[in-house]
Amino acid sequence: MNEKLESFLKNVKPADDAAMAEASRYLETLAKPPGSLGKLEEAACRFAGITGKLHNHTEKKRIIVLCADNGVTAHGVSSAPVSVTAAQAVNMTKNLTGMSSMAHAFGQEVQVVDVGIATDYICDKILNRNIRKGTGDILREPAMTEQEVYDAILTGISLAQMASMDAVNLIGVGEMGIGNTTTSSAVLGALTGMNAEEVTGRGGGLTDKAFEIKKNVIDRALAFHKLREDQSDVIKILSCVGGLDIAAMCGVYIGAAFYRIPAVIDGFISIVAALGAVRLCPAVRDYLFPSHLSEEKGYLIAAKALDLEPWLALDMRLGEGSGCVIAFCVIEAACAMINGMGSFATNGIDDGYLEDIRKSVN
């Protein structure tokens, strides 16, 4: 294990149980039937556990988008050409993609980071942290070296540190990379011991023939790298069949936990990276918030492994961090509720009629 990464992993603290308990007790005093705001109440309590404070704010929200290309695209696993990664990364900085246009409308920051784009582009608004220009072909060689995995994870941690220094209240974790549903499916298969048929979806859209090719490539890659034998070595798994975007996203989650910032998961690629981060450091799970139920087949497998239930079902499968945009609004509503809602006492209501209900709820 890389010493610098190990130092971060050892110093991630679990959520503050006392702060969550205080938030839960406070919510019981507010003028509403017990538990009637459901997931909003849960979000408010979990936010308190992360920051150690009852009242939290969400003025500054940032979606960090990790961009990288994947050598596995040489096998026809994606419908889009590799050049789309760079093109869409640039378009994100102009608020022209699905995620960035929505984020702009809600006043949310988007930070686009190149950790492995293969093609050239001209855009000074993209943060250049390129580790290598795309990964290797996972059917013939490891996607990257283990040192490159560490470099990507540490890059992600540094982005969380940057967010902390910028007083960011909420982090969203997104991606852009043609072929990354293939690498994510391979990583998920390796982490769970499942085969391609169980964990693989159609990504951005594939013909039946291309979909069969994609699943075949994933199974062959898992066999080639002998990843059926050990589901615990996250660094090896990322090195063999992962992507620079996935590894860097793992780092953002770890960094968010280290710096005690809530981190929102987007879709399939984002949740596979979250699972990798939690396998490296179980305490990271306390800092993760779900967003939407991705249409990708493997999403629920990863969500179940993390014991996280998606809040929204919108039939989305875009990626980019698009689910984070909407989940930020949910968390913002949760904070507005606990910060501004009146209690039974301040609202002049005798809450004695709720005693029996409270007993049944608790």
Q: Which of 308, 324, 328 is nearest to 316 (CA)?
A: 324
Give CA–CA dist 83/69, Å, rounded.
9
Give Cβ neighbours of residue 121 (< 8 Å, ≥ 6 apart).
Answer: 86, 87, 89, 90
Give CA–CA dist 12/332, Å, rounded.
25
Q: Which of 42, 175, 320, 332 is catalytic?
A: 320
DSSP string, 279-302: HH-GGGGGGEE--B--SSTTHHHH
Active site residue 320: yes
Which residues make beta-bridge pairs with 173?
64, 265
Give CA–CA dist 315/292, Å, rounded.
9
Which residues make beta-bridge pairs with 312?
292
Which residues make beta-bridge pairs with 172?
63, 264
Q: CA Rg, the chain, in Å? A: 21
Q: Distances in Å between the alpha carbon of 343 and those of 19, 29, 31, 138, 358?
A: 19, 5, 5, 58, 16
Give CA–CA dist 160/142, Å, rounded.
27
Q: Is 2 helix (H, G, I), strand (E, B) or coil?
A: coil
The number of beta carbons lying within 10 Å of the beta carbon of residue 78 is 23
Sign (positive or negative) of CA dihedral 254, 255, 259, 262: negative
Virtual torsion, Cα 310, 9, 150, 222, nearest 10 deg? -50
Give Cβ neighbours of residue 336 (< 8 Å, ≥ 6 apart).
Answer: none
Catalytic sites, residue numbers: 320
